[in-house]
Each structure stands twice: as structure tokens, then as C-alpha cells.
């Protein structure tokens, strides 16, 4: 750990994800029927151990209304970068707000990520803090806040199923990830580009996510994922489907039994939007391997760490990479 440092941006993809056995219908995922739930738990457990990610299908019909958010993203990201609606929402010291294109930290050395983003956190969604960071677009705060709360609820359900799938009490992960204070919802725009694919000019550089699980909705291809063996695959995009990937905290809690999912986005000749929700551990939790995953054959691999501490360390490392790139360009 951190797994991000073990990834190599230059590694090629070896194929397309075979998602025929990796998809869980949202209706089944949210079902209270014991038989259906047992089947979902088994499928999620197998996917998490053997693949590192899974899909939730037909999600918009049952849990997340993404269409209003995508309409708001189209309007906002179509604005010029000098438009006051964007500049007034510029990212602040809290790390929330608008990030212009090419300003994403470099998760891998010598990479430039060609995306722009709008990030929101719990305080900007439910409190008065951060009001000025919301773009002055009719209905945007309400649409994005609704999406946040829906993802938050889906996160609790998914964490309970993962808990059961790896032999923990159903409420183990939900009870340790319930405050949402460190959750982040990212609205990402990847402009179309004719830049040839290289390990240096990317949509976003290879990394693992710092939290527990991440929900990713994409409107066009471009996302690439690793399996637990570190092999890269292209992840198909389908309307109405969300990809669930595993983060660093699950890898730590399970002492490496579950692997955080490496992922990256390549440059594409078509515009791409992505809605991403990071479900984090509560700030009061110290995450370290659970005793059931530690043995003589698999000794404790990771020291205790807090979620906020881990996020800050990973961002600092990426920003150091960015500074090194700037120094080279002088």
C-alpha cells in the first residue's frame, strides 16, 4: 500500500470485461427477500474476490435518478472557463468546487489528466457551508443533492451486502461508513480529443480510490479496470448501469484478501461524462486488518490509518507528482 503506486500507466489492456456474470439487477440488490438476498450476496462475494468490481443494472429505474444531473453537467461544462458561473464555483481550500481541465493531481508520475470536475461534499449538500461554491444554475443544487442522498443510501445497502459476502456482520461496514462526512460526489467531464494515446496524456491517470467503495456511471467508453492480478480490461459502458469498484480501505480491512480496483480513463474522440460517488469510512475509524483475515501465512500487512489521513497522504503524493511535472516544463 498504497496500491496506486503499484500500478503502471503504460500497461496495455488485454481485453474487454466479460460482464455476463458480474451484473446485479438493482431490484434484486434492494430486495428484502431472503432467497434473493442470499443469491446477491454470493454473486457480489465472488465478483469482489475474483474480479474486484461488479455492475448494478437498471439502476435509474430503482434508486438513482441520474438524468437530471447529466442535464446539469451538460449545461455547466459547456460554459467557457472564464464564465463567472464557473469561476465563482472554483475549488477552494476544502477541495470542493470546480476544477478546470488539466488541473487534476497527477496520480502517476509524468501524467496530465485532461478532465475537468465539479466536486461536492456533505457540508455543501446538507448545510449552509459551501453555498457560494454551487454554480448559479437553476435547479443544479437540488438535482445534485438528490443524487448524493440516493447514492448515500445505495452505499449503505451495498456495504451491508459486501459485509455479508466476506463473512462479517451485515452492519460491520455500514456502521463504520455511516456519517458520510468524508464522502465526495464528483461530476467529471472528459472533453473529446484527437490526442494520440500515450502513457502521459490521459483522461485520468491510473490509481485506486482512497475510500471503501466507489460508484461510477459513465456515458461513453473510456474507463479501464484492473482485476486482482493487475491485468487491465476495458470496462463497457451501458446506460442505466453503475460500476461498483473496491477502494483502499476494504483492502486494508481484509488484509489484502480484497484488492482495491486499479482504474484509469483513456483519452477518447468523444465527449464523456461520469458521475462518481466515493463512500468513505467515518473520520473516527482507525482502519487496520481484522483478525479474521490475519494468519501465520498472511501476517498483518498494513498499519492502522484514519480515512482522512489516508486521503490527505494520497492527494499530497499526487500533488508532488504534479509539481515535478511543472518543474520539468520550466
282 in helix, strand or coil?
A: coil
- DSSP characters for 93-124? TTS-EEE-TT-S--SSTT-EE--EEEEEEHHH
The C-alpha cell at 194 is 484527437
Report d(CA 258, CA 249) in Å as an integer.
10
> Looking at the predicted structure, is the pLDDT value of residue 1 above 50?
no
Q: Is residue 93 part of a domain?
A: no
Q: Is residue 241 part of a domain?
A: yes
Q: Is residue 280 part of a domain?
A: yes
Q: Is residue 88 part of a domain?
A: no
Q: Is residue 53 part of a domain?
A: yes
Contact criterion met (CB below 8 Å) for 280 and 177: yes
Report d(CA 18, CA 33) in Å as an integer.
28
- List the single range of 9-23, 196-210, 266-280 with lowest mean pLDDT: 9-23
How high is the mean pLDDT of the chain? 92
pLDDT value of position 289: 98
Mean per-residue pLDDT, 272-282:
97
Q: Is residue 133 part of a domain?
A: no
State the pTM of this model: 0.96
pLDDT value of position 127: 67
Report d(CA 162, CA 29) in Å as an integer.
11
The C-alpha cell at 243 is 460500476
Q: Is residue 161 part of a domain?
A: yes
Mean per-residue pLDDT, 119-148:
84
Q: What is the CATH number of the domain that holds 177?
A: 2.60.120.330
For the chain, what is the domain count? Answer: 1
Report d(CA 124, CA 133) in Å as an integer.
8
pLDDT value of position 95: 86
Report d(CA 211, CA 103) in Å as an integer.
22
Contact criterion met (CB below 8 Å) for 251 and 220: no
Domain enclosing residue 316, as ranges: 3-78+98-128+140-329
Residue 165 CA to its chain's centroid (Å):
21
Mean per-residue pLDDT, 82-109:
94
Q: Is residue 122 part of a domain?
A: yes
Contact criterion met (CB below 8 Å) for 124 and 186: no
Amino acid at each position: 500500500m498504497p496500491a496506486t503506486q503499484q500500478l503502471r500507466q503504460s500497461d496495455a489492456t488485454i481485453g474487454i470485461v466479460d460482464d455476463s456474470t458480474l451484473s446485479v439487477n438493482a431490484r434484486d440488490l434492494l430486495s428484502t427477500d431472503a432467497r434473493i438476498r442470499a443469491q446477491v450476496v454470493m454473486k457480489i462475494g465472488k465478483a469482489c474476490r475474483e474480479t474486484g468490481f461488479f455492475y448494478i443494472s437498471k439502476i435509474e429505474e430503482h434508486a438513482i435518478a441520474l438524468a437530471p444531473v447529466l442535464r446539469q453537467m451538460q449545461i455547466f461544462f459547456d460554459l467557457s472557463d472564464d464564465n463567472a458561473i464557473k469561476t465563482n464555483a472554483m475549488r477552494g481550500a476544502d477541495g470542493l468546487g470546480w476544477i478546470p481541465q488539466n488541473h487534476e493531481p497527477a496520480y502517476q508520475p509524468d501524467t496530465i489528466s485532461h478532465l475537468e470536475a465539479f466536486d461536492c461534499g456533505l457540508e455543501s449538500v446538507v448545510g449552509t457551508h459551501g453555498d457560494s461554491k454551487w454554480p448559479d444554475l437553476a435547479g443544479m443544487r437540488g438535482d445534485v443533492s438528490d443524487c448524493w442522498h440516493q447514492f448515500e443510501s445505495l452505499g449503505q445497502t451495498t456495504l451491508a451486502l459486501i459485509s455479508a459476502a466476506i463473512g462479517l456482520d451485515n452492519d460491520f461496514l455500514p456502521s463504520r461508513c455511516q456519517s458520510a462526512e468524508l464522502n465526495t460526489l464528483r461530476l467529471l467531464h472528459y472533453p473529446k480529443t484527437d490526442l494520440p494515446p500515450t502513457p502521459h496524456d490521459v483522461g485520468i491517470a491510473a490509481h485506486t480510490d482512497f475510500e471503501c467503495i466507489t460508484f461510477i456511471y459513465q456515458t461513453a467508453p473510456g474507463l479501464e479496470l484492473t482485476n486482482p492480478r493487475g491485468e487491465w480490461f476495458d470496462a463497457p459502458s451501458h446506460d442505466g448501469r453503475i460500476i461498483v469498484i473496491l477502494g483502499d480501505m476494504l483492502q486494508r480491512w481484509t488484509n489484502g484478501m480484497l484488492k482495491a480496483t486499479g482504474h484509469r480513463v483513456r483519452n477518447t474522440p468523444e465527449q464523456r461524462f461520469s458521475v462518481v460517488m466515493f463512500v468513505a469510512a467515518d473520520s473516527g475509524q482507525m482502519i487496520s486488518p481484522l483478525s479474521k483475515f490475519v494468519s501465520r501465512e498472511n501476517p498483518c500487512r498494513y498499519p492502522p490509518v484514519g480515512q482522512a489521513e489516508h486521503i490527505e497522504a494520497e492527494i499530497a503524493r499526487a500533488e508532488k507528482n504534479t509539481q515535478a511535472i511543472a518543474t520539468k516544463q520550466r
